Structure 1
Amino acid sequence: MPTLVGWHVELEFTEEGNRTSAAALVRLGDGSEMRARGYAMRHPTDPEQLRVGEEIAGSRALMDLASQLLQKAHAEIDDASGRNSYPLTQ
Structure 2
Amino acid sequence: MQTLVGWHIEMEFREDGPRTTAAALLRLGDGSELRAHGYSSRHPSDPEQLRVGEEIAGARALNDLASQLLSKAHGEIQEVSPVPTHPLS
Same-fold status (TM-score > 0.5):
yes
Residue 53 of structure 2 is matched in structure 1 by 53
Q: SS at 1:14's partner residue? A: strand
Provide structure 2 residue ranges, at least 5 long, that are not aligned to the other structure: none
Give, in angstroms, the shift of residue 85 of structure 1. Answer: 1.8
Provide structure 1 residue ranges, at least 5 long, that are not aligned to the other structure: none
TM score, norm. by length of structure 2: 0.95
Aligned structure 1 segments of 4 or more residues deviating by more than 3 angstroms: none
The separation in 1 between residues aligned to 2:40 and 2:29, in whole angstroms, is 30
- Aligned-residue RMSD, C-alpha: 1.0
The separation in 2 between residues aligned to 1:81 and 1:14, in whole angstroms, is 42
Residue 29 of structure 2 is matched in structure 1 by 29
Preserved contact between residue 70 and residue 88 of structure 2 (Cα < 8 Å): no
TM score, norm. by length of structure 1: 0.94
The separation in 2 between residues aligned to 1:4 and 1:74, in whole angstroms, is 23
Give, in angstroms, the shift of residue 83 of structure 1. Answer: 3.4
Q: How many aligned residue pairs are there?
A: 89
> Once the two structures are aligned, what percentage of the paired residues are identical?
71
